[in-house]
C-alpha cells in the first residue's frame, strides 16, 4: 500500500506532526512509521554549498590571483556531521512505496531552501509533492495545513529566491573575506601580536558589527553636559507629591510652538510618595 512521507525541519516538529496524525507505529532510526504514513526530519541544514577547493585544489590557498571567485555552476555537498540523517531521509524520499511527499519544513524562505537542497541531493523523481504551510504547531493548524497543502511547484519562486540569497551570501563571504584578510590581515596581526588574522565578511555579520562599532564610538566620544531639573514638592488632599516641571511641544494657533506645562506621570518621571506614619 502506498504511503505518504512527511518531512519536517527538526525532530521536535516531526513529533508534533506524528501526534496530530495519531500515528501508531514504530520509531525507527531517524523516522516514525505507521501503516499509513512515515514522518521524518532534517536537523536544520543537511546540505550546504561546497568550499572553493571543491571546484579546484588551487583555491584552497588564499591568493589575490584567484579572486574574484565566481563559479558558473555552484556545487553542493552533504554536511559531514549530519550525513547519517541525510542518508535516512534520502532513502525514505526515494522509497518505492512512498508516493506523496508532504514538505513540512518551516513556512518561510529558509525552510523552503532546506528541503529543496535535500531533494536536489537525493535525486527525487516521480513523486507527488505537497507543501504544508502553517503558522503554528497546534494539532488543528497542522491538520489544516495538511488538508490545504498545495503542489510544491507553487512555491518555486520562493525556492528561487532562497537559492539566490544563499549564492549572494556565499560569494560575498568567500571573496570579501579572502580579499580583506590578504590585504589587511598582516597589519592587524602585527598590531595584535598574533600569528594570523582572518577577517570574516558576511551579509548580516558585517552590518551588525558595524552597528556595534558605531555605538561604541558614540559611547567613547560622549561628552558630559550638565543639565538641571525643576522639581517641586506639593500636597493634595493631605497626600504629599513630588513632581517635575517639563517643557513639551504643543500646537499653537498658527503653527507649532514650544510651551511649558506641569506633568505628573506622562513620562514616568514623577514619584508619588506617602508620608511615613
Whether 93 and 9 share a structural domain? yes
Which residues have CB under 8 Å from 24's CB, separation 6+?
A: 34
In a domain, 205, yes or no: no
Residue 127 maps to which CATH number? 3.40.50.140
Last residue of a domain, one of 163, 180, 207: 163
Domain membership flag for residue 34: yes
Structure confidence by residue, pLDDT tens digits, 180-235: 999 999 999 999 999 999 999 988 888 899 999 999 999 999 999 998 999 999 98
Choosing from 163, 197, 222, the residue where a domain stops is 163
9 and 133 in a single domain? The answer is: yes
Which pTM was predicted?
0.76
Q: Are residues 104 and 15 in the same domain?
A: yes
Task: For residues 120 and 246, state if they share a domain.
Answer: no
Give mean pLDDT, residues 57-67. 96
Same domain membership, residue 240 and residue 157: no
CA–CA separation, 134 and 140 (whole Å): 10
SS3 of 8, please? strand
User: Tell me, what's the pLDDT at 247?
Assistant: 81
Q: Does 209 fall in a domain?
A: no
Specify whether 28 is located in the same domain as 124: yes
Q: So what's the pLDDT on residue 45? A: 96
DSSP 51: P
The count of domains in the chain is 2
Residue 258 domain boundaries: 230-272
In a domain, 148, yes or no: yes
- pLDDT higher than threshold 50 for residue 162: yes
Q: What is the DSSP string of 174-232?
A: HHHHHHHHHHHHHHHHHHHT-S-------TTHHHHHHHHHHHHHHHHT--------EEE
pLDDT digit string (tens) for 78-108?
Answer: 999 999 999 999 999 999 999 999 999 999 9
152 plus 241 within the same structural domain: no
Q: Which of 146, 103, 147, 95 is nearest to 124 (CA)?
A: 95
Q: Are residues 122 and 43 in the same domain?
A: yes
Are 155 and 28 in the same domain?
Answer: yes
Q: Of 142, 163, 184, which one is at a domain's C-terminal end? A: 163
Residue 30 and residue 115 in one domain: yes
Amino acid at each position: 500500500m502506498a504511503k505518504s512521507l512527511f518531512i519536517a525541519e527538526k525532530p521536535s516538529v516531526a513529533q508534533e506532526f506524528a501526534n496530530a496524525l495519531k500515528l501508531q507505529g514504530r520509531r525507527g532510526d531517524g523516522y516514525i512509521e505507521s501503516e499509513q504514513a512515515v514522518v521524518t526530519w532534517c536537523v536544520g541544514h543537511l546540505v550546504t554549498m561546497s568550499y572553493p577547493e571543491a571546484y579546484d585544489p588551487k583555491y584552497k590557498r588564499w591568493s589575490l590571483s584567484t579572486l574574484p571567485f565566481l563559479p558558473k555552476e555552484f556545487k553542493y555537498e552533504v554536511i559531514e556531521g549530519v550525513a547519517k540523517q541525510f542518508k535516512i531521509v534520502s532513502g525514505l524520499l526515494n522509497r518505492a512505496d512512498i508516493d506523496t511527499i508532504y514538505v513540512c519544513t518551516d513556512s518561510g524562505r529558509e525552510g523552503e531552501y532546506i528541503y529543496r537542497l535535500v531533494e536536489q541531493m537525493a535525486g527525487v523523481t516521480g513523486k507527488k509533492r505537497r507543501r504544508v504551510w502553517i503558522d503554528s504547531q497546534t494539532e488543528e493548524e497542522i491538520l489544516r495545513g495538511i488538508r490545504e497543502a498545495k503542489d510544491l511547484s507553487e512555491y518555486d519562486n520562493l525556492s528561487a529566491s532562497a537559492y539566490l540569497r544563499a549564492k549572494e551570501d556565499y560569494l560575498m563571504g568567500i571573496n570579501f573575506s579572502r580579499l580583506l584578510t590578504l590585504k589587511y590581515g598582516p597589519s592587524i596581526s602585527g598590531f595584535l601580536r598574533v600569528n594570523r588574522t582572518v577577517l570574516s565578511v558576511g551579509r548580516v555579520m558585517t552590518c551588525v558589527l558595524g552597528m556595534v562599532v558605531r555605538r561604541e564610538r558614540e559611547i567613547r566620544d560622549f561628552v558630559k553636559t550638565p543639565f538641571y531639573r525643576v522639581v517641586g514638592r506639593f500636597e493634595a488632599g493631605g497626600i504629599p507629591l513630588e513632581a517635575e516641571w517639563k517643557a513639551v511641544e504643543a500646537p499653537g494657533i498658527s503653527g507649532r510652538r514650544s510651551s511649558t506645562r506641569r506633568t505628573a506621570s506622562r513620562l514616568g518621571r514623577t514619584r508619588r510618595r506617602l508620608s511615613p506614619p
